[in-house]
Amino acid sequence: MRSCRLNVMPAPEARAYVVKTAVSDPTAAGFVFPAQKTMYGGKHIAAGDVVYVFASETHGGAGLIARGVVTTASSVPRCPGLARQTPRVSVQVQCTGVARRPLGRTELKPFSDCEDRQPQTELNFKCYRQATDKIVGIEPATATFLEGFF
């Protein structure tokens, strides 16, 4: 299997994010995501940022379900005594849109060529390379692509 490396946006440009996690009520007007693992610049999430919510298929979800705006974001303190820890944040999101068509693991699986720079490839790599729930920063082109689902 070939190793892939995608560019990670620096914090100032990282204004759109994907949250992939278990979602108990996909029709809620807002979401609370406590102590979420962050990757690919996800630790820079802040109030006012755009978030695309993916209900994790490993928890019975259906992939992309909503778009929202972060109302609050706070970092979770690290546990003392642990050498390696993934940064975690807690966020609250106000829903601003509901996905009109499906986008999940099935639709993104064919996009695995890390060199093609397509938004689908970035989503496949960042969301589904590992099965963990997480918050990830995404490129502006990927945010524009996701807007087409609302």
Domain boundaries, the chain: 13-76+85-145
> Could you give the CA distance from residue 24 to residue 115 in angstroms, rounded to a whole number?
35
| Token digits of residue 12 | 């100032």
- In this prediction, residue 2 carries a pLDDT of 44
Does 12 score more than 80 pLDDT? no
Burial 38-76 (b: 16+ CB within 10 A, else e): bbbbbbbbeeebbbbbbbbbeeebbbbbbbbebeebeeb
Looking from the CA of 44 toward its CB, the CA atoms found within 13 Å total 15
pLDDT digits (tens, 9 = 90+) for 76-128: 988 888 778 888 999 999 999 999 999 999 999 999 888 898 999 999 999 99
Assign 4 a pLDDT band (cuts: 50, 70, 90).
low
* Conformational region of residue 92, where left means phi above 0, alpha means psi within -120 to 50, and beta covers everything else: beta
DSSP 79: P
| Token digits of residue 46 | 């802040």
What values do phi and psi take at 47, rounded to 5? -55, 135
- In this prediction, residue 115 carries a pLDDT of 86
